[in-house]
Amino acid sequence: MDWVDRGLCRTQPERMFAEGAAQNEAKTVCFKCPVQLDCLAYALDHREEHGVWGAMTERERRSLLRRRPGVASWAEVFRAGTTHREPELEPEPVRVSRPGRAPAIPAAEVAKLRAVSA
């Protein structure tokens, strides 16, 4: 973790464990930091549960980890310069259920079901 000594937060670590709106202020430190991706990768790879790391709050990191459970090493992802983008889905059709009928299944869910059953 040689990157830790280069982090802009090293002089004010308590600020990075703020709660509520103060987390947004902590993120501003990260946006200017030369080791932002190293910090974020560490937090994601080690499942850090508290604080702002690499400009992401604990809630944001949990959300990212849920969306991308297959990533074994975020450090490798960031080193490779790749991004894990959300898959582009076709727009959901607006469907209105008629009384007495089951609600329509969104197209994305139908595609998932077909892929699983294939």
Annotated binding site: 9, 30, 33, 39
Secondary structure (3-state) at 53? strand
Contacts of 66 (CB under 8 A, 6+ apart): none
The crossing angle, in degrees rounded to 10, of helices 22-31 and 36-45 is 120
Which segments of the chain does DSSP mark as H helices, in order?
A: 22-31, 36-45, 58-67, 74-80, 107-117
Q: Which residues are annotated as a binding site for [4Fe-4S] cluster?
A: 9, 30, 33, 39
- Summarize the chain as % helix, strand, coil (round to 5): 55, 0, 45
